[in-house]
């Protein structure tokens, strides 16, 4: 009897009663119940997160940022309540803590009282980060805690982005304010440069004027020096004349009655004395020309210099916005010029007392000279003119005394004027040096102010000035400068679609495993009849493979039309699953045929080994090294990879590779089953009395 007929006979056994028929129906529906229920329960859990009760605590007091009120806690709470993420329950912190502890709420989210203040501190002197407080309890549910970390990470990112936008918006507004103030500073620098340019021109004029004043003060000092020397000679001569006339008057007045005999006896002496007086008067007259010319000029020059220095000092030291470093030297020069002007005025007053041009003084000296010479000429006959001589001598004495006193006053005044003129010359020299330094400093200041104005204009151009639209656009970019541009290739729409490649082969393996609990892996009649080992192996494999095809059709029909599984390659998926169920049937058949009752335990163990190393949930690389080592050598690993490409899309390479692996496992398992069948045809004591029976 051929293998298909043997397989049909095996299946006909289930049509002989109600219970076998029910068992066969259950066998057909077992993978459907196993796979469909699993996938249905895991299909899209994230779409029902709004059913998870979660506690929301908002203790935020708010904060003020400038004239605006910041209520970050209220904003976040309102956004969460409007979202579909979790079922939010507003409550106090104590109620939330108790609810998470006793399991009423899976977790809690708390906005602390200083949440807005910390966010607002980003624009202050001590910025701080705001903290959202999440409390979870893995004793309630571990997965909810994992989901909450993902959800609240997005909440934190949104809150951080909003706070960053507010902070950066104030920065861009500050840029605009700085731009405007820098433009004002640049305009002020332009005005400053104009004023400094004028000051620089004034410093040049001052330096030129002081140069001329230095030359004039030098000439004045030299002239007053010569005049002082002449006044000294004049004082000495006038004093000698006064002394002589005084002696003469004393003698004439004291011994008038006795003079005549004396004059007779001393006529020559009188003549010599008169000659001396005449010569002295002539000497004094010889210096009067220089004296007359220099005194008015000295007064005028010193007064002009004093007035000039007063004006300079007033402009640079009293009216100037910024004090001048040369003010101390300017004050010394101003005071010295004032003293020299006073002294020169005194000297000129002496000149004025004698008629302005010294004619009266010169006339007095001329008269003195003439009278002295007349006296010398008339000395031999003085006794005859004694009475007249006494009168003239007294007059001469008075005039000589006046001349001596005036000469002394003149000498003293010219000495003071000379000292003042020297101080004036020194002060004007220092002032000239300071003016030159001031000129150089003003030049540097003008150059620096020009650079300052240019730099401020350049800076104002470089400082950005954003309008509201541009500021909003830049704030948005800088608040969230890096965005994740994801591109999902062959994206699974939900959890169920993602886990389908893992649960579908699991359910088909369970279907084959249970099928061989009802169907014999090796037909006993064929074994007893001595049929071919291959025929026996195929006869035991075909019924389960046929049932596996029916199981696959039922499972995929429900998953597609009832649960909603969408497959990119639907026909390819179903055809591939026919090969999968055939392979699984061959492997389970061999384990049962070879090891008997123990084979059922090995089938379950082999299932566990495949599930843990197939990478159906987490990538296999995250598993221990043992599972990574056995992963490539187990059929379910290739089945999972192939189903992912068939259901969600992708290159068909893993599909063809999986087909080759499944065919190899199928042929290999059938060959091993045939070998086991050949051994089973020989009866042994172990077969008659097995050690383990299930």
User: Which range in 177-186, 222-231, 328-337 is most confidently predicted, on average pLDDT?
Assistant: 328-337
- pLDDT attached to residue 2: 55
C-alpha span between 245 and 260 (Å, rounded):
18
What does the pLDDT average to over 553-574?
90
Q: Three-state SS across 69-138? A: EECHHHHHHHHHHHCCCCEEEECCHHHHHHHHHHCCCCEEEEECCCHHHHHHHHHCCCCCCCCCEEEECC
C-alpha span between 563 and 43 (Å, rounded):
8
Share above pLDDT 70 across residues of the chain, in percent, rounded to a whole number: 60
What are 165-179's pLDDT values in tens digits? Answer: 554 455 545 445 555
Residue 127: CA count within 13 A, CB half-sphere: 7
**635-648 and 653-680 helices cross at what angle (nearest 10)?**
140
What are 656-693's pLDDT values in tens digits? Answer: 999 999 999 999 999 999 998 888 776 555 555 565 55
What are 368-411's pLDDT values in tens digits? Answer: 778 877 777 777 776 666 666 667 767 766 776 776 777 678 76
Q: Write the DSSP symbol of residue 355.
A: T
Nearest to 509 by CA among 391, 602, 398: 602
Residue 391: CA count within 13 A, CB half-sphere: 3
C-alpha span between 529 and 506 (Å, rounded):
36
- pLDDT attached to residue 642: 94
* Residue 1 pLDDT exceeds 50: no
Distant-in-sequence, close-in-space partners of 541: CB < 8 Å, separation ≥ 6: 7, 582, 585, 586, 589, 670, 673
Residue bearing the bigger pLDDT, 141 or 270: 270
**Token duo for residue 428:** 């004007």
C-alpha span between 125 and 128 (Å, rounded):
10
Share above pLDDT 90 across residues of the chain, in percent, rounded to a whole number: 11
* Residue 19 pLDDT exceeds 60: no
Residue for token digits 């150089």? 440
C-alpha span between 591 and 673 (Å, rounded):
8
- pLDDT attached to residue 463: 60
What are 119-136's pLDDT values in tens digits? Answer: 766 555 566 665 678 888
Residue 532: helix, strand or coil by DSSP? coil
C-alpha span between 630 and 623 (Å, rounded):
11
* Residue 633 pLDDT exceeds 60: yes
């Amino acid at each position: 009897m051929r293998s298909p007929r043997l397989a049909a006979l095996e299946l006909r056994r289930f049509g002989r009663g109600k219970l076998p028929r029910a068992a066969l129906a259950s066998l057909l529906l077992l993978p459907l119940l196993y796979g469909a229920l699993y996938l249905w329960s895991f299909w899209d859990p994230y779409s029902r997160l709004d059913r998870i009760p979660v506690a929301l605590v908002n203790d935020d007091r708010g904060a003020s940022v400038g004239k605006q009120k910041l209520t970050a806690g209220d904003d976040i709470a309102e956004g969460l309540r409007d979202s579909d993420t979790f079922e939010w329950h507003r409550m106090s912190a104590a109620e939330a803590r108790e609810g998470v502890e006793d399991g009423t709420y899976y977790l809690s989210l708390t906005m602390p009282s200083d949440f807005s203040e910390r966010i607002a501190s980003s624009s202050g002197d001590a910025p701080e980060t705001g903290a959202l407080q999440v409390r979870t309890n893995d004793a309630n549910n571990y997965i909810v805690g994992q989901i909450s970390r993902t959800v609240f990470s997005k909440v934190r990112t949104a809150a951080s982005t909003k706070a960053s936008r507010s902070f950066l918006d104030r920065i861009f507004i500050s840029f605009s304010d700085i731009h405007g103030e820098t433009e004002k500073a640049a305009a002020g620098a332009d005005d400053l440069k104009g004023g400094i340019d004028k000051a620089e021109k004034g410093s040049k004029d001052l330096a030129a004027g002081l140069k001329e004043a230095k030359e004039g003060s030098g000439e004045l000092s030299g002239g007053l020096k010569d005049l002082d020397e002449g006044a000294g000679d004049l004082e000495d001569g006038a004093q000698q004349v006064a002394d002589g006339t005084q002696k003469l008057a004393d003698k004439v007045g004291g011994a008038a009655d006795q003079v005549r005999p004396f004059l007779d006896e001393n006529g020559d002496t009188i003549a010599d004395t008169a000659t001396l007086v005449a010569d002295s008067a002539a000497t004094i007259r010889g210096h009067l020309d220089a004296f007359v010319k220099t005194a008015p000029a000295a007064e005028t020059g010193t007064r002009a210099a004093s007035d000039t220095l007063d004006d300079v000092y007033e402009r640079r030291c009293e009216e100037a916005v910024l004090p001048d470093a040369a003010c101390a030297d300017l004050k010394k020069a101003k005071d010295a010029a004032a003293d020299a002007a006073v002294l020169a005025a005194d000297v000129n007053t002496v000149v004025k007392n004698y008629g302005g041009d010294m004619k009266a003084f010169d006339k007095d000296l001329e008269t003195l000279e003439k009278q002295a010479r007349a006296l010398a000429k008339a000395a031999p006959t003085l006794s005859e003119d004694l009475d007249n001589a006494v009168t003239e001598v007294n007059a001469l004495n008075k005039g000589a005394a006046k001349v001596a006193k005036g000469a002394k006053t003149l000498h003293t005044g010219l000495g003071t004027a000379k000292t003042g003129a020297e101080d004036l010359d020194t002060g004007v020299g220092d002032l000239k040096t300071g003016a030159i330094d001031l000129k150089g400093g003003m030049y540097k200041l003008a150059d620096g102010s020009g650079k300052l104005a240019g730099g401020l204009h350049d800076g104002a151009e470089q400082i950005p000035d954003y309008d509201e639209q541009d500021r909003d656009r830049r704030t948005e970019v800088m608040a969230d400068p890096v965005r994740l541009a994801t591109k999902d290739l062959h994206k699974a729409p939900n959890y169920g679609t993602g886990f389908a490649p893992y649960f579908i082969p699991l359910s088909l393996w369970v279907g084959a495993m249970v099928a061989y609990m009802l169907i014999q892996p090796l037909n006993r009649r064929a074994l007893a009849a001595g049929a071919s080992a291959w025929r026996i192996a195929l006869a035991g494999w075909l019924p389960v493979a046929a049932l596996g095809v029916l199981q696959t059709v039922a499972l995929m029909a429900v998953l597609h039309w009832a649960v909603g599984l969408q497959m990119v390659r639907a026909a390819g998926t179903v055809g591939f699953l026919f090969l999968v169920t055939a392979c699984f049937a061959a492997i389970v058949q061999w384990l049962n045929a070879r090891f008997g009752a123990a084979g059922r335990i090995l089938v379950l163990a082999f299932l566990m080994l495949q599930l843990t190393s197939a990478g159906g949930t987490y990538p296999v690389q995250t598993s221990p090294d043992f599972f990574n080592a056995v992963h490539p050598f187990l059929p379910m690993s290739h089945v999972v990879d192939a189903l992912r490409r068939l259901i969600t899309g992708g290159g068909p390479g893993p599909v063809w590779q999986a087909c080759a692996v499944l065919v190899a496992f199928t042929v290999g398992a059938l060959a091993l089953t045939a070998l086991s069948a050949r051994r089973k045809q020989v009866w042994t004591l172990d077969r008659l009395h097995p050690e383990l029976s299930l």
